[in-house]
Structure 1
Amino acid sequence: MLYAVARGFYLLLAYVVRYRKRVVLENLRNSFPEKSGAEIEKLAHQFYWHFSQVMVEVIKLATMPAAELKRRVLFRNPEVLERHFANQRTVLGLSSHAGNWEWVLTSGALWLSAHTDGVYKPLSNPFFESFMYRLRTRMGSGLIPMRDTLRDMVQRKGEVRVVSMLSDQAAGPEDRPYWTTFMNQDAGFYTSTERLATRFRCPVVYVSIRRLRQGYYEIVLTELYDGDSPLPANDFPLTAAFVHQLEQDIRLFPPDYLWTHRRWKHKRVTE
Structure 2
Amino acid sequence: MSSPARSAASSVASFAWYYRPLEWLLLALSRLPMAVLYKVSYGLYLLLAYVVRYRRKVVLTNLRNSFPEKTEAAIEELAHQFYRHFADLMVEILKLATTSQQELRQHISMRNPEVVERHIARGRTVIILASHAGNWEWSLALGTLMFSTGADGVYKPLSNPFFEDFMYRLRTHTGAGLVPMRDTLRHMVQNKDKARPISLVSDQAAGPEDRPYWTTFMHQEAGFYTSTERLAARFQCPVVHVSILRLGQGQYELVLKELYDGDAPMPKEGFPITESFVRHLEQDIRAAPAFYLWTHRRWKHKRPVSQ
Whether the TM-score (by the shorter chain) exceeds 0.5 is yes
Correspondences of 1:27-176 after superposition (within 5 Å): 27-176=62-211
- Match of 1:109, as an amino acid? T
How much does 1:111 deviate?
Answer: 1.1
- Match of 2:150, as an amino acid? H
TM-score (norm 1): 0.99
Q: Which has the higher strand share?
A: 1
Residues 74, 217 of structure 1: 8 Å contact kept:
yes
The match for 1:235 among 257, 264, 270 is: 270
Residues 20-49 of structure 1 show CA distances to partners (whole Å, capped at 9, x for unaligned) of 000000000000000000000000000000
| Aligned match of 1:15 | 50
Residues 39-91 of structure 1 show CA distances to partners (whole Å, capped at 9, x for unaligned) of 00000000000000000101111111111101211100000011001101000
How much does 1:112 deviate?
Answer: 1.1
- Match of 1:268, as an amino acid? R
TM-score (norm 2): 0.88
Residues 70, 111 of structure 1: 8 Å contact kept:
no
What is the aligned residue count?
Answer: 271
Is there any run of 5+ residues in structure 2 with no aligned partner, and where? 1-35
- Give the Cα–Cα distance (whole angstroms) in 1 for the partners of residues 158 and 106 of structure 2: 30
Residues 211, 217 of structure 1: 8 Å contact kept:
yes
What SS does the corresponding residue of 1:161 show, helix, strand or coil? coil
How much does 1:269 deviate?
Answer: 0.3
- Give the Cα–Cα distance (whole angstroms) in 1 for the partners of residues 172 and 97 of structure 2: 10
| Aligned match of 1:262 | 297
- Match of 1:58, as an amino acid? I
What SS does the corresponding residue of 1:170 show, helix, strand or coil? coil
Residues 96, 173 of structure 2: 8 Å contact kept:
no
- Give the Cα–Cα distance (whole angstroms) in 2 for the partners of residues 262 and 58 of structure 1: 21
- Give the Cα–Cα distance (whole angstroms) in 2 for the partners of residues 71 and 60 of structure 1: 13
What SS does the corresponding residue of 1:158 show, helix, strand or coil? coil
Question: Is 1:178 paired with 2:178?
Answer: no
Residues 47, 53 of structure 2: 8 Å contact kept:
yes
Q: Which runs of 4+ in 1 moved over 4 A?
A: none
- Match of 2:62, as an amino acid? N
What SS does the corresponding residue of 1:186 show, helix, strand or coil? strand
The match for 1:207 among 242, 266, 281 is: 242
Residues 176-222 of structure 1 show CA distances to partners (whole Å, capped at 9, x for unaligned) of 10000000000000000000000000000001111111111000000
The match for 2:233 among 187, 194, 198 is: 198
- Give the Cα–Cα distance (whole angstroms) in 2 for the partners of residues 158 and 205 of structure 1: 19
Residues 132-190 of structure 1 show CA distances to partners (whole Å, capped at 9, x for unaligned) of 00011111110000000001111111211011000000000010100000000000000
Residues 31, 184 of structure 1: 8 Å contact kept:
yes
Is there any run of 5+ residues in structure 1 with no aligned partner, and where? none
What SS does the corresponding residue of 2:112 show, helix, strand or coil? coil
CA RMSD of aligned residues (A): 0.6
